[in-house]
Amino acid sequence: MFDKLRVKLNEFRKAIDDKLKAAPQPAEKAGILDKAVAITKGEVILTEKDLEGPLWELEMALLESDVALPVAESIIDSVKKGLSGQRKRLLSSTGDLVEDALRDSLLGILSAHTLDFEEYVKAHEKPVTVVFTGVNGTGKTTTIAKLAELLKEKGYGVVIAAGDTFRAGAIEQLEKHADRLGVKLIKHQQGSDPAAVIYDAVAYARSNRKDVVLADTAGRLHTNVNLMEQLKKISRVIKPDLVIFVDEAIAGNDAVERARLFNDAVPISGSILTKADADSKGGAAISIAHITGKPILYLGIGQGYKDLKKFDPEWFVDRLLER
Ligand SMILES: Nc1nc2c(ncn2[C@@H]2O[C@H](COP(=O)(O)OP(=O)(O)OP(=O)(O)O)[C@@H](O)[C@H]2O)c(=O)[nH]1
């Protein structure tokens, strides 16, 4: 997982190290005060010029790893701020310095907003209604089933709403999952109003003391205005407690663009990225968190019902910065 970006970040760390080893003596480059300090302590100072090349390389590496341009620029800015003017003992490794700057920058994006889904469900008045948005084929149905399993394990009563009434196949697929998991499914026939299906599911949950309604929606193409309008209608009628955007980590910048458009249509509470097990880049999570300003809640890490990992920014950044 995320190996490509990890390798690139390591290269950046090494490039800064090499720069420093080849750096001129402090007396040649620092200001009067710094010079004195540097000479007595045997330190060098990282200037913007030292950082220019490696930062450019880092920006390219981030872009190649599905980090969207404005996000890459913001990371570069904060790493630059974290590093330039920093003194470093000659010949000692700059690893920590670079690692700290990268860590701060990435965690700044990924931890800016947090939402603990399980805590939310625990604390919130029941039934908690969760609507899932995102395009077809990204793993939305499987993700709903995974969350149903997780909630069931915690002792909650779960109802699934087959709100993707666009295709009969979607209703059947959800029904299979619900049967396997032993969870109640509320469905209408193909072509019916999705808001009505979800409304019925909430009513069922209320009268049967169920705790959580997980509502599928059609994999509406974000370019299709009518379908987006339908999503807005669902939101108006149902007033869901949470709206979760689902997309594939491996879709990279396409997923980032979709996240932005879906979030613009109906503001999301957070995202789940599927197929992280097949994602060598890792940039989609960073970009989606930055662009939507909403947390990543879980990563899908396989096809089984248990293959859902709670997203932990520290774990994710540790992975990326592993040597
Ligand atoms: N490797 C891997 N595969 C996944 C993951 N999540 C879902 N899949 C697979 O991705 C495929 C598509 O998943 P679905 O849940 O059917 O996708 P969907 O978005 O509901 O798609 P539609 O039914 O077309 O709307 C299935 O084969 C899933 O098993 C994941 O985290 N990792």
Contacts of residue 117, Cβ cutoff 8 Å, sequence gap at least 6: 147, 242, 270, 297, 298, 310
Could you tell me the distance, in angstroms and rounded to a whole number, from the CA of residue 26 to the centre of ligand 1? 56
pLDDT (tens digit per residue) in 274-297: 999 998 788 899 999 999 999 999
Inter-residue contact 5 to 285 (CB < 8 Å): no
Q: What is the ipTM of this complex?
A: 0.95
Q: Is 277 annotated as a binding residue?
A: yes
Residue nearest to ligand 1 atom 1, measured at CA? 302
Task: For residue 315, report the phi and psi dihedrals to the nearest 5 degrees.
Answer: -60, -45
Ligand 1, atom 11: nearest CA belongs to which residue? 139
| Beta strand pairing call for 308-310 and 296-300 | antiparallel
Most confident of 48-52, 62-66, 76-80, 295-299: 295-299
Taking the mean position of all CA atoms in its chain, how far away is CA 270?
8
Is 256's pLDDT higher than 80? yes
Would you state the pLDDT for residue 297? 97
Measuring from atom 25 of ligand 1, which residue has the nearest CA? 136
% residues pLDDT > 90 (the chain): 57
Cα(313)–Cα(106) distance, integer angstroms: 9
Ligand 1 atom with least separation from CA of 218: 25
CA of 115 to the centre of ligand 1 (A): 24
| Euclidean distance between CA atoms 76 and 51, whole angstroms | 10
Secondary structure (DSSP) of 216-276: ------TT-HHHHHHHHHHHHHH--SEEEEEEEGGGTHHHHHHHHHHHHHS--SEEEEE-G
Question: How many angstroms separate the alpha carbon of residue 181 from the centre of ligand 1?
Answer: 17
Q: How many CA atoms lie within 13 A of 69 on its CB side?
A: 1
Q: Which atom of ligand 1 is nearest to the CA of 138?
A: 19
Output the ligand 1 site: residues, CB below 6 A. Answer: 136-142, 170, 173, 219, 274-275, 277-278, 300-303, 307
Amino acid in the structure at residue 251 = A
Tell me: pLDDT of 265 over 50.
yes
- The answer on pLDDT for 101 being more than 90 is no
> Residue with the nearest Cα to atom 10 of ligand 1?
139
137 C-alpha to center of ligand 1: Å? 6
Residue 252 pLDDT class (50, 70, 90 cuts): confident
Q: Taking Cα atoms as reference points, which of 98, 85, 92, 79 lies closest to residue 16?
A: 98
pLDDT for 88 beyond 70: no
90, pLDDT greater than 50: no
| Count of positions (residues) in the chain | 323
| Domains (range + CATH), the chain | 3-110 (1.20.120.140), 117-311 (3.40.50.300)
pLDDT of residue 37: 42
- Average pLDDT value for the chain: 87
Q: Which of 57, 78, 45, 48 is nearest to 14 (CA)?
A: 57
DSSP string over 107-161: HHHHTSS---HHHHHHHSPSSEEEEEE--TTSSHHHHHHHHHHHHHHTT--EEEE
CA–CA dist 175, 168 (Å, integer): 11
- Residue written as tokens 């420093």? 20
- Spatial neighbors of 138 by CB under 8 A, at least 6 apart, are 219, 246, 247, 248, 251, 255, 274
**Whole-prediction pTM value?**
0.89
- Asked if the model's pLDDT at residue 29 lies above 50, the reply is no
Quick one: pLDDT band at residue 166, thresholds 50, 70, 90?
confident
Smallest Cα–Cα separation from 213: which of 197, 228, 229?
A: 197
Q: What is the mean pLDDT of residues 28-39?
A: 45
% pLDDT > 70, the chain: 87
CA 180 – CA 40 distance, rounded (Å): 71
Q: In this predicted model, what pLDDT tens digit does every residue of 168-227 receive, in sequence order? A: 888 999 999 999 999 999 999 988 999 999 999 999 999 999 999 999 998 866 556 687
Instruction: Give the pLDDT band of residue 44 (cuts 50, 70, 90).
Output: low
Distance from the first to the final alpha carbon of the chain = 14
Tell me if 137 is assigned to a ligand binding site: yes
Is 219 annotated as contributing to ligand binding?
Answer: yes
